[in-house]
Structure 1
């Protein structure tokens, strides 16, 4: 935004300091006048000194000279004016120095802000000294820069991974088409089927990216929903897939009311149950549980499977990261399932927690604000 140039903050503070000092000097002089000079009479009667013996036994009395109010005012006014001039000069110089020292941290913050505006997010202010308002501002700005740097790095990593994932099916499609063109006598039935599978994967990946963008932008209408009903709906939708793999899906828990997008929360639950099935062992079990805590509602999806390390669990939320123990069938997904779940949970002011189960498998818990807690907020 273009702004007209104006006086600097340092000049404003200097003038404020000098003005305050001048006001204090004027008040001090007013106090002297009110409590001292005003009690001096305007005319002082001349008196005589103590008589002494002289010729004839007495000496004539001599007059006593005492300053009256006019004399004191004549002597006081120039000194007061000179003092005010000294106070003004002292206030301007001292205020300029003090303002410079006080605003020095702000200069560093401004410099760091400009560097961040130019694209350098690695710079930190790291303001030393004890805590005060400037230190709190600098620490908050450093924390914001750290989050922005991590977010930008994540977005770049996500863009690179998305480009790779989208390029792969396109490259395979191009290869198959080249093979078909160079071999006209080749049976096209198998080629068409492979192209259909690759195209379906590309469509699924595109839809997942659009859903991820929608969740990040929070462009949805909030309504009252019940996580327990959503859990039952997701489990019923994926029941045929579970039956084909011999996996048992069990749902239980309490009514869990919250507010949000029914479609996005259904997608969240479906992704969790789908991952619990495809990352399971043949003949395993999936448990879907809902609950209510003090101010939150929870959705927990547990599954059996191979033992997972905490290091692996910490990475599978990242986009296009795939864990071990996946059942390799037509439902392998595009590697965005848990990333979408995390974004949807954050868009609903919730959290996502992944914990490896001691006996193998994974426990995933989503916590969302309860309907009452969100209304109070």
Structure 2
């Protein structure tokens, strides 16, 4: 916005300091004058040099007024000079913050103010600004890495599709059945990747409606949906837990639960594996925990599993391995619901994932009952299917 120019804050503070000093000086001189008037009589009798009454008050006013004016003039000059210096010293941290803001506006997010001195209001503002810049820089770097990884992942199916089409055009007598199957598989992967990217973007932007939901029913719905896949792999899936009311998006939390259970099923032992899905209610949170058997994982590798497109080397060639965004979507949905995601390796092998969310207020209203009925109906339909 273009605004009309006006007085600077430093000049306003200077005038305020000088005006206050002048007012204080005038009040002090007025107090002195009133004090003198109280104890000095109007006229006094003196014997020399001329006998008779002498006008003391008038003579005192004649002497006091010029000196009072000189004092006020001195206070004005002193107030202006001192106020200008004091205002400049007080506003120096604000100038540094302004310079840092201009640098950040030009695209440099690595600059920090690092204001020294006592912990006053300017120091708190500078520290908050440095924290904001650090988070913004980390977010921009993460988005750049994500864009580069997404471009690479999307380029792969497109390059494969072009290669298959080139081969088909160069060999018109080639059987098209195998080509169609491969193109279908590549196209399905590209669609899955695109949908995952859109879901991740939706969660990052927090563009969803919050409602009362039961996290235990959502986890049970996700488990029922993926139970055929677990049975196909010879895995056992166990669910347990009490009602865990929370506030959030049913669709996003269902996607979160589905990703966790799917991840636990796919990355499991080749046979006789197990998956445990539990929900717990705590005084200040509700927790969804998904554990699975599997190979022993190093803590260093576990800490990177929630990063986009980062997968363990043993997972890349696994069927149903997804597009590398499963846990990244879980992390994004958790953060969008003001929760925390914890990944830890199990001592016996496998992974333990805990999602901690804020609980819903202790009130069972129509919205929660409606949500529970809807989830129960979907579970019944899944069991029937």
Q: How does 1:32-181 map to 2 (within 5 A)?
A: 32-44=32-44, 46-48=45-47, 63=51, 68-181=56-169
**Offset, 1:31:** 1.0
Q: How does 1:1-377 map to 2 (within 5 A)?
A: 1-44=1-44, 46-48=45-47, 63=51, 68-282=56-270, 283-326=272-315, 328-372=317-361
Distance 1:22-1:373 versus aligned 2 partners, 3 A rule: farther
SS of equivalent to 1:315: coil
SS of equivalent to 2:135: helix
CA distance in 2, matches of 1:329, 1:319: 17
**Offset, 1:358:** 1.2
More moved, 167-176 vs 61-70: 61-70
CA distance in 2, matches of 1:91, 1:32: 21
Q: Does the aligned pair in 1 maintain the 2:93–2:115 contact within 8 Å? A: yes
**Offset, 1:373:** 7.7
CA distance in 1, matches of 2:314, 2:282: 32
Which position in structure 2 is the counterpart of 1:58? none
CA distance in 2, matches of 1:85, 1:285: 90
Distance 1:254-1:335 versus aligned 2 partners, 3 A rule: same
CA distance in 2, matches of 1:168, 1:207: 16
Which position in structure 2 is the counterpart of 1:54? none
CA distance in 2, matches of 1:320, 1:269: 19
Q: TM-score, normalised by structure 2?
A: 0.91
Q: Does the aligned pair in 2 maintain the 1:254–1:291 contact within 8 Å? A: yes
Q: Does the aligned pair in 2 maintain the 1:290–1:298 contact within 8 Å? A: yes
**Offset, 1:259:** 1.1
How many residue pairs are counted as aligned between the two chains? 363
Q: TM-score, normalised by structure 1?
A: 0.93
**Offset, 1:309:** 1.3
What RMSD in Å do the two structures reach over aligned CA positions?
1.8
| Structure 2: 5+ residue stretches without partners | 365-385
CA distance in 1, matches of 2:115, 2:316: 53
Distance 1:373-1:313 versus aligned 2 partners, 3 A rule: farther
More moved, 267-276 vs 353-362: 353-362
| Structure 1: 5+ residue stretches without partners | 50-60
For residues 152-194 of structure 1, give each alpha carbon's deviation from its aligned partner in whole angstroms, at most 9, with x where no partner exists.
0000000000000001000000000101111111111111111
